Amino acid sequence: MSSKESCRNELRTAIRQLSDRCLYSASKWAAEQLVGIEQDPAKFTPSNTRFQRGSSSIRRRFRTNEINSTPPTGVAYVSTPVMEEDEAIHGDFYLLAKSYFDCREYRRAAHVLRDQTGKKSVFLRCYALYLAGEKRKEEETIELEGPLGKSDAVNRELVSVERELSTLSKNNMIDPFGLYLYGLVLKEKGNENLARKVLVESVNSYPWNWSAWSELQSLCTTVDILNSLNLSNHWMKEFFLASVYQELRMHNEALSKYENLQGTFTFSNYLQAQIGKTQYSLREFDQVEVIFEDLLRNDPYRVEDMDTYSNVLYTKEYFSALSYLAHRVIMTDKYRPESCCIIGNYYSLKGLHEKSVMYFRRALKLNKKYLSAWTLMGHEYVEMKNTPAAVDAYRRAVDINPRDYRAWYGLGQAYEMIGMPHYALHYFQKSVFFQPIDSRLWIAMAQCYESEQLHMLEEAIKCYKRAANCNDTEAIALHRLAELHRELGQPEEAAFYYKKDLERMEAEEREGPNTVEALTFLATHYKTQKRFEEAEVYCTRLLDYTGPERETAKSLLRGMRIAQSGFPSMDVEHFHP
């Protein structure tokens, strides 16, 4: 029995169990992965071998699988446990409650199950109550919205649900689904440590509930927390780890996990989308585009994660593709934050910033904590020269997630724009603190230091050095370093950076005014250093260019020849144009 087959069996059972408990999004996720498994297990594709080379934990997992599980019962720890069903009498009530639940009549559902004691019934009752509270909370948030911001609406069912579940868990009368709900409630109440513990317990005893994993993921805000979790091995753990890595900006780790998983779940749209998102964070836009195009072909009505795709299209300035995407998502589901964000991106690309802001606003109305919408809206306000609004938007992004370096960077830019470079420095410093490997941030900070008001060139040089060290694609840093050193009267350092810049331009086969400038400086510099051979090389290269530099090179060469031939220079002034 192949591992794929066992995954498939596990997922099939899990989907039934999950949807029986009305955990729809988890069951949706599981079903997606089920279909994502390659259909023909006999065929060994290259990806399969890659998978076998890969994660040892997965392999181990499946080895134990083969040993322990016997197909008919399959109650081993790893395979899908068959949950004991409630008695038949109560089963009828359960069916009624589930129907109510499916019609979103949560309170009615809970009421039907009021006297039931079976684990399944208890779970569904609590879950229904919880959802009823959530629904009411959302309504109240809108009802109570005051001029000073939202009045704090809370889920009023949390207390009673928590009390019931904690009693059950103390008496060991709780199943993994109950634990998941308990964790959810605890997290909502702010008791994160216990929530983590309960959720870990839940996923360890029933790993197929992706909702539980994602709740757990949202509670793993640092690597230390992640390492402290005591998780049993299961292939679901790989999904979890990948997603945590992605959130923690450990993109390469996330990517390798996802690629490993793709060995089994070759056709999983979820995996594909996640890989796309990770690649986007790594700024591999071409790959992302390919991935999402493929994804859209297979799953044309997908809205999830499409905002990332739109970001790529925006960066690459594909007007029509972006408009096509926007059209498609709006036909699919107009009131999704992602849809609004895509349209916002489209308008932004068209330069219609007011309209763009309107759509970002709508996205934020739908989800107040939609981080990228805040940041993107900030960008729009910057374009509209509405600095206070931009600052406000960025600040909200930063307060939602203080590690969002883009928003810090935006804040810095906004302040620099209104002539407050010193004030802006604070924000640039924050931004490079959270993302020290991005050369653009360092360059921005350096330019801030360089500004007329501050004129702190030493600090600017330090920043440019950092920028040059982290793969400065636009090659600004080296050139500026050279120039700054020259301005500060440090010719040795200037020559060093001009040379580096020159090498780089040669490697990338670029030419321009910078090349000429570098060559001119180097030629003059070596000449004053009396290293005539090197100077001659640069002068000769300069002769390939037209313009005044060519003349300079000529005169330099002439001067050197005179100096080398031992004649005292007659017309020194002439040599220095």
Partner 1 sequence: MAGVVKAPAPGAFAITPHKVSLCILVHTYASPSQISVPFPFSSVSQHNRLGLYLLALTKSCDDILEPKLDQLINQLREIGGLLDDWLTDHVTSRLSSLSAPDDLFNFFNELRETLGGPDSGVMDDDQVILDPNSNLGMFLRRCILAFNLLTFEGICHLLTNIGIYCKEAISSSSYEHRLDDSGNDLESLSEYENMDLNLVFKKINEEMEARKKATEQVSFHLHLPKDLSTLVEDVEVFADPKPEHNEKGGESSSYASGDLLRDVDPDGGVFLRTNWQIQGYLMEQADAIEKSSCGRHGSSFTFNAFELTLRQLQKLAPEFHRVHFLRYLNNLYHDEYFSALENLHRYFDYSAGTEGFDFVPPAGSNDFGRFEIALLCLGMMQFHFGHPKRALEVLTEAVLVSQQQCNDTCLAYTLAAICNLLSEIGFSTTSGILGSPFSPMTNVGTSLSVQQQLFVLLNGSLKKAESLKLKQLIAANNLAMAKFGLTHVQRPLLSFGPKISMKLRTCPIVVCKELRSGYHLISDFCCEGSTMTTDGAFSTAWLKNLQKPMGSLVMSQDNGSGNNSNPFLFFTQPSSIPGSVLQLVGSSYLHRATAWEMYGSAPLARVNALVYATCFADASSSSDAVVVHVKLIQHLAAFKGYKEAFAALKIAEEKFLCASKSRILILKLQLLHERALHRGHLKLAQQVCDELGVLASSVTSVDLELKTEASLRHARTLLAAKQFSQAAAVAHSLFCMCYKFNLQVENATVLLLLAEIHMKSGNAVVGLPYALASLSYCQSFNLDLLKASATLTLAELWLSLGSNHSKTALTLLHGAFPMILGHGGLELCARAYITEAKCYLSDPSFSVSDNPELVLDPLRQAADELQALEYHELMAEAFYLMAIVYGKLGQLQQREEAASSFKNHIVALDHPHDADDPFLS
Q: Which is nearer to partner 1, 169 or 287 (CB)?
A: 169
Nearest to 561 by CA among 491, 553, 548: 553
SS3 25: helix
User: CB of 157: closest distance to partner 1 in angstroms?
Assistant: 8
Residue 559's alpha-carbon distances to 230, 384, 517, 570, in angstroms, are 76, 55, 20, 10
CA-based torsion, 63, 68, 72, 73: positive or negative: negative
Residues contacting residue 19 through CB under 8 Å, at least 6 positions apart? 27
Q: Does 29 bind partner 1 (CB under 8 A)?
A: no
17 within 8 A of 54, measured Cβ to Cβ: no
Number of residues that bind partner 1 (CB under 8 A): 55
350 binds partner 1 (CB under 8 A): no
Three-state secondary structure call for residue 118: coil
Please, what is the minimum distance in Å from the beta carbon of residue 110 to partner 1?
Answer: 10
- Whether the Cβ atoms of residue 411 and residue 444 lie closer than 8 Å to each other: no
Cβ contacts of 27 within 8 Å, gap of 6 or more: 14, 15, 18, 19
Question: Residues 106, 107, 113, 118: what is their CA dihedral angle, to the nearest 10 degrees?
Answer: 50
Binding of partner 1 by 224 (CB under 8 A): no
Residue choice 170, 172, 317, 509 for contact with partner 1 (CB under 8 A): 170
Burial (CB count <10 Å: 0-12, 13-18, 19+), residue 466: buried
571 contacts partner 1 (rule: CB under 8 A): no
Which tokens hold the place of 418?
Answer: 């209104």
Within 448-487, which residues bind partner 1 (CB under 8 A)? 453-454
Query: CB 277: neighbour CB atoms within 10 A?
Result: 22
Q: Does residue 222 bind partner 1 (CB under 8 A)?
A: no
- All residues at 6 or more sequence positions from 428 whose CB lies less than 8 Å from its CB, including other chains: 408, 409, 412, 441, 444, 445, 448
Given 52, 64, 160, 447, the residue binding partner 1 (CB under 8 A): 160
What is the token pair recorded at 343?
Answer: 């349209």
Stretch that binds partner 1, among 115-123, 146-154, 199-207, 463-471 (CB under 8 A): 146-154
Pair of tokens at residue 508: 């990338």
Kindly state whether residue 190 participates in binding partner 1, applying the rule CB under 8 A: yes
* Shortest Cβ 296–partner 1 spacing (Å): 31
407 to 426, contacts with partner 1 by CB under 8 A? Answer: 411, 415, 418-423, 426
- In order of 15, 387, 410, 413, 544, the CA distances from 430 in angstroms are 45, 19, 11, 12, 45
The answer to whether residue 296 forms part of the interface with partner 1 (CB under 8 A) is no
Q: Closer to partner 1 at the Cβ: 318 or 423? A: 423
CB of 290 to partner 1, least distance (A): 35
Which residues have a Cβ under 8 Å from the Cβ of 330 and sit 6 or more positions away? 339, 343
**149, 134 contact by CB (below 8 A):** no
Window contacting partner 1 (CB under 8 A); options: 93-101, 150-158, 318-326, 525-533: 150-158
Q: To which residue do tokens 């370093």 refer?
A: 481
Among 5, 84, 143, 304, binds partner 1 (CB under 8 A): 143
* Part of the chain binding partner 1 (CB under 8 A), chosen from 191-199, 480-488, 498-506, 513-521: 191-199
What are the tokens at 505?
A: 């331009």
Q: Which is nearer to partner 1, 419 or 513 (CB)?
A: 419
Rg (CA), the chain: 31
Q: Binding of partner 1 at residue 377 (CB under 8 A)?
A: yes
Residue 315 makes contact with partner 1 by CB under 8 A? no
Minimum distance from CB of 5 to partner 1 (Å)? Answer: 40
| Structure token digits, residue 188 | 């909502």
Q: What single-letter DSSP state applies at residue 488?
A: T
Rounded to a whole number of angstroms, the minimum distance from the CB of residue 163 to partner 1 is 6
Q: How far is the CB of 396 from partner 1 (least distance, A)?
A: 6
- Cβ atoms within 10 Å, residue 437: 11
Q: Would you count residue 36 as binding partner 1 (CB under 8 A)?
A: no
Residue 366 within binding range of partner 1, rule CB under 8 A:
no
Q: How far is the CB of 574 from partner 1 (least distance, A)?
A: 36
DSSP annotation string for 422-463: HHHHHHHHHHHHH-TT-HHHHHHHHHHHHSTTT--HHHHHHH
State which residue, 149 or 512, has the beta carbon closest to partner 1.
149
- Residue 191 or 315: the one with the smaller Cβ distance to partner 1 is 191
Q: Is 150 in the site for partner 1 (CB under 8 A)?
A: yes
Establish if 330 lies at the interface with partner 1 (CB under 8 A).
Answer: no
Nearer CB in complex with partner 1: 101/394: 394
Sequence-ordered list of residues with C-beta below 8 angstroms from that of 275, at least 6 positions apart, any chain = 255, 258, 259, 262, 291
Residue pair 471/493 in contact (Cβ under 8 Å)? The answer is no
Q: From residue 383 to residue 412, what is the string marking binding to partner 1 with x (rule CB under 8 A)?
A: ---xxxxxxxxxxx--x-----------x-
210 binds partner 1 (CB under 8 A): no
Residue closer to partner 1, measured from CB, 36 or 421: 421
Q: Is 71 in the site for partner 1 (CB under 8 A)?
A: no
Q: Does 159 bind partner 1 (CB under 8 A)?
A: yes
CB of 368 to partner 1, least distance (A): 9
In the complex with partner 1, the residue whose CB is nearer, 148 or 570, is 148
**Which residues of the chain form contacts with partner 1 (CB under 8 A)?**
139-140, 143-144, 146-154, 156-157, 159-160, 163, 166-167, 170, 190-191, 194, 197, 361, 364-365, 374, 377, 381, 386-396, 399, 411, 415, 418-423, 426-427, 453-454
